[in-house]
Amino acid sequence: MLVAGALGYVPYHVYARSGLARTLLLRQELAALRARNAVMAAENQRLEREAESLRDDPEAIERVARTELGWVGPGEIIVDLSPPPSGLPAPAAPRARPR
């Protein structure tokens, strides 16, 4: 009986009370944080390249101005082909005039 108790107590003591379980959990968290750190570093590099191109490249500045800000160049005409917002009736098509 004493041997069975010792065989049950020793693994419990080594695993739970000595910090082995916590050490294993912290190692898993560390691996997850390192992976997230690598993703964030790649995102930082991408953003750094984008910021550099916005400082030096007029084409990149124009692209951002057009797509994100909706700017239009001089002499350009905007044709909006998007459907009308839901809830509003579509405008009637122009009628042909008889000649």
- The verdict on residue 45 lying in a domain is yes
Q: What is the pTM of this model?
A: 0.51
Residues 6+ apart with CB under 8 A from 14: 20
In a domain, 19, yes or no: yes
Report how many domains make up the chain: 1
Q: Identify whether 21 is part of a domain.
A: yes
3-state secondary structure of 11: helix
Q: How is 77-92 classified by DSSP, letter by letter?
A: -----SPPPTTSPPPP
Q: Is residue 18 part of a domain?
A: yes
pLDDT of residue 40: 98
Which residue range forms the structural domain that includes residue 16?
2-67
Residue 9 lies in a domain: yes
Provide DSSP, 20-77.
Answer: HHHHHHHHHHHHHHHHHHHHHHHHHHHHHHHHHHHHH-HHHHHHHHHHTT----TT--
- Please say if the pLDDT value at position 46 is more than 90: yes
| 99 is a domain residue | no
Question: Tokens 């191109």 — which residue?
Answer: 53
Task: State how far Cα 84 lies from the chain centre.
Answer: 30
Average pLDDT, integer, range 52-81: 88
